[in-house]
Structure 1
């Protein structure tokens, strides 16, 4: 059974587009994030003078579906950020638009700790496939006592919880939430296009609509190109959709969509209403009807219990 988690957010200058701090109850870590336009104010914060890890995040001009990310560490993050803010011909980095800094409230993070965290987080970012990583070759740094390794494993877990709350998804594991054990008991949905021999299966997992590995799609986007058309092309480019075989493409792995309609559009090769196209396995009940029934059932049960 999963438990709730309390996260405290603070708008430093009272603006949702300014500097933001975040803390998790019973965690010594502290997050500070903001846009590059606020770098002058950010580097003057006391957190920036501590030992920590940081993330530089910006758009990928070659892939609108994911960001570019650089992961770094320093004993003096303010100094490093000033270096990254220089023009590229002076050793800086031009791509980034936002920065997120993770330090420790008790200031117990050492240089060895953050070097280890950097190496582990780079490996996680590579595995997630949710960003274009701007780091060069990352060293596998694991020279820590056993007790410190356990502490850093917990620290990384908290970082992976707090970053999505701040709008950074690039450390989320694309496969862990879709493991066989997590899929057991989940409602299965199907979508078929008999004319084209296309059949796909999907599940709702952790708030996302996940099309399962082995599902098929039409071979190409057939309508006027738009956001979903770009998504289709990107999935082909990334290898999520395999090469065309017998007039179809195959999902090479589970893939998480932000809505049933996005998933349905990729399967159909054109815009379509996923709430109508997806149906409960072996039934004619649409996803939309099923979801409505779930809301009614849960709210009715809650009213009865009261």
Structure 2
């Protein structure tokens, strides 16, 4: 990080949150539909679908390779940004290049509402409403409703874990697997790694506390906070789809992610866990050409390929 000029950054605080959100909205890449089409390799459609009860419509960015015919497996993807930043478009170029094209997958990227403008459960309910709609309109989307994988990175990984719990408990759409990349799972900041890495890297305890407070408001720290708000609080992880979990050894989410994988195993579930040595939060974006980043991307792709093969691909 030092060699790249990406040393410790100013943490996100309640005082600078609005300014950081404005800067993120202005500077984070937002590729156009024409750019995502990549000279005709992909079909791109922006959809507005029914949102949660008493909520606005949800925007889904639908992308699929132009070549393959017939129903494709779907990656239902939730972007990162600590629940306070990010957008559904910026994550797509890499996803399309690394997974959609080689694995012949369709992708739906969700533009969920951000905190603190929308607090829990609003963002999660946006994601659930979009998932329900997609499963119910699989035919017109050209997707296989029996092969839907949910995934996300950081806050998106936490949302994906929560979405798996919510779909299980509501009897919602079936989910083939959950791809959880350095997921943000625990609001309580009690782990060793959450304090061990404080002040290091691009995301630390101060920033995480700011994000959780923005999402939860007065419910922050509540003893009865539901697991859909912070999946690490779940006491029943049975009946969940297979999970891929990866995290860096040098980031605050390390211990909560390892604990979540362990809890899945103890509940009789399947999980593949990778702890990448020396890796900081978002390491594969910080240093995409590093050998470790390439290994991490390869491991994720192999898991997706195996999951699709087992489902009858």
Same fold per TM (> 0.5)? no
TM bucket normalised to smaller: under 0.3
Between structure 1 and structure 2, the one with the greater Rg is 1
TM-score, normalised with respect to structure 2: 0.26
